[in-house]
Chains A and B, each alone.
Chain A
Amino acid sequence: MVDETLLDIVVTTEDREECIALIDQLLSLIYTNDSSLLSFLHSDVPEIFSKFFLNYLQTTVDSQSKERILRKLRDEVSHLEKISITVAFRPSRNSLEKMVSQVRKQYGSNMVMEVHYNPEIIAGAEIVYKGIYRDMTSRKKLDEVLNGMKGKAL
Chain B
Amino acid sequence: MDTTLIYILIFVLAAIALVGIALAVSYSSLFIKYRKLREELVERQKREADSFQKTFEDSRKQSLLILDQAQNAAREIVSRAGNITNGNNADLLKLVNENLKMQKASYDQALLSISENITKTFNSMPTDVKKQVEVEVAKLVSVIEADMSTLQTALQASLKQPFEEAQREADTYKKERIKQFEGSLFSILSDISREVLRKELTSEEHEKLVLKALEEKKIEGGI
Contacts and interface: CB of A to CB of B under 8 A. Distances in A.
Contact of B213 (A125, A132, A143, A150): A125
A119 B209 contact: no
B209 A134 contact: no
A127 B211 CA distance: 12
Contact of A122 (B197, B211, B216): B197
- Of B198, B210, B211, B216, which is in contact with the most chain A CB atoms at under 10 Å from its CB? B210
Contacts of B94: none
A134 B210 CA distance: 13
A138 B197 contact: yes
A91 B206 CA distance: 9
Contacts of B201: 88-89, 122-123
B178 A99 contact: no
B212 interface: yes
Interface string A120-133: 10111101011010
B157 interface: no
Nearest to B218: A106
A138 B209 contact: yes
Contacts of B182: 150, 153-154
A106 B194 contact: no
B217 interface: yes
A89 B214 contact: no
B203 interface: yes
Q: Provide the main secondary structure of the chain B interface.
A: helix
A143 B189 CA distance: 11
B10 to A, nearest CB: 126
Interface string B188-214: 011001100110010101110111111
A142 B190 CA distance: 8
Contacts, number: 91
Contacts of B206: 87-89, 91, 123
Interface string B169-200: 00000000011001000100110011001100
Q: Sorted from nearest, which 4 A-B pairs have the closest CB atoms?
A: A136-B213, A89-B206, A125-B213, A129-B223
Q: How large is the interface on A (under 10, 10 to 19, 20 to 34, 35 or more residues)?
A: 35 or more
Contact of B223 (A87, A132, A138): A132
Interface of B: 178-179, 182, 186, 189-190, 193-194, 197-198, 201, 203, 205-207, 209-218, 222-223
Contacts of B216: 136
B183 to A, nearest CB: 8
Nearest to A147: B186
B214 A123 contact: no
Nearest to B215: A102
A106 B179 contact: no
A146 B193 CA distance: 10
A143 B197 contact: no
A103 interface: yes
18 contacts: A88-B201, A88-B206, A91-B207, A98-B211, A105-B218, A106-B217, A119-B198, A122-B194, A123-B206, A124-B210, A124-B212, A127-B213, A134-B217, A136-B213, A142-B194, A146-B186, A149-B186, A154-B178
A139 interface: yes
A85 B203 CA distance: 16
- Of A95, A123, A130, A138, which is in contact with the most chain B CB atoms at under 10 Å from its CB? A123
Interface in A91-123: 91-92, 95, 98-99, 102-103, 105-107, 119-120, 122-123
A150 B189 CA distance: 11
Given A105-B218, A123-B201, 15 more contacts: A88-B206, A89-B201, A91-B207, A95-B203, A99-B211, A107-B223, A122-B201, A123-B206, A123-B209, A125-B209, A127-B214, A127-B223, A136-B214, A150-B182, A154-B182
